[in-house]
Structure 1
């Protein structure tokens, strides 16, 4: 089954002939970049958007992965933080983020002679509340992983089969996803939540989130890691570090990490 979907993905890029990949360095877009490079060679270009919602460490990882893949890689600056529709953090915040991204990438692609902008949206993403997908579709972006019905699990399995060392890398959505809808997003808030997550990873925890609500940080870890965290990590140091970053209160979510948890607060799911 995976071999069939891989062939379908390869065929999609063969028909494109040239493609610009919206490349974040996540597992999904890295798989797209790998297949595009294998099929198109120097006719494929990966482009990463740089903004305050992307940690510098994640940008370094994206650059390292692009070099490993061998794909040409460029950076562009996006300015979603200048859009009050984005910083107000409404339920469709991602729509404005992806609008800025694709309003930047599409003219770049056309100017460079790339007829297609390709992203890493997978089949499972289409079943979730992802207003950014609409913004990408409105601007003509294509999503090969979704087109062939590749699930999140299959993306990782195929990445492993193709030898990508980061196939099991934890998902890292943009830092703005750490804030409840309706709470304004600032560069400083993005910075402190990002530094807090980097700090926790230094203790060996990778699959985690630091949710931020006003002055409170809520740490989400994998459920199986919670007891070990409480037993082995100096909690007073954690609290002090978070307070030094600007938080007043530091809490631990006893339910544990769950992707998209803040979407529970939505009163209605919008297309």
Structure 2
């Protein structure tokens, strides 16, 4: 019986890997982070207060950023993360990228990930552009051997080839953004994670960047994007995941998700108005009228 060669065996593994689907599976995912509170000293002299502040041990507390997050995202899904500011959208994206590790539950992600959350991640301001391409690309998990073949195309796309040997700190914020975007989108991945749609920079570069981003989105097996742009969500996504105070409030078709988010937002606004009116009532509800009453 013929034994397959090592090359043939590796080729068969590559084919099997390509055939496998990408997916994201979260089960009861939670994220808690510690924070510290300095004990307050009531009364006493200013010297006592100063000494107390210098010697008191801060108390550790925990804030729950995500709680009981459960969902399945399969190949072909384009999912919009929908929620108000501070709801947990960006935090969830960072968990999906692997930047934050869940403190509870389980998260399984199959497929290479491409994250456009922080375009300056992995940069060293003292290094040259050429050096920073290697730094950020390797931080993204791209092998150094592959990075060598990408350097010229990255510099060309960012339109910064003439500055390749200058230190990063000499560039403007817009030029750094262009370099970061060019590196981040230089390779196609299975899963794309976006925090808002790219739209910064000069008009000519934004147009080029959007064309590349559309190409990368179309080539991705899964896309997860956090956005407040409902028109973009309807156009780009087929599913919506509504996050409210770190919990999954809804997961389903994008139109239904947007409707549910609108309903939740209106209910929250009504609750805040009612709470404000109740607080005013507890304050006595008195008002002074200036003028004469006939």
Larger radius of gyration: 2
Flag whether TM exceeds 0.5 (same fold): no
Higher relative contact order (CA 8 A, sep 6+): 2
TM range (shorter): under 0.3
Greater helix fraction, Structure 1 or Structure 2: 1
The structure where strand makes up a greater share of residues is 2
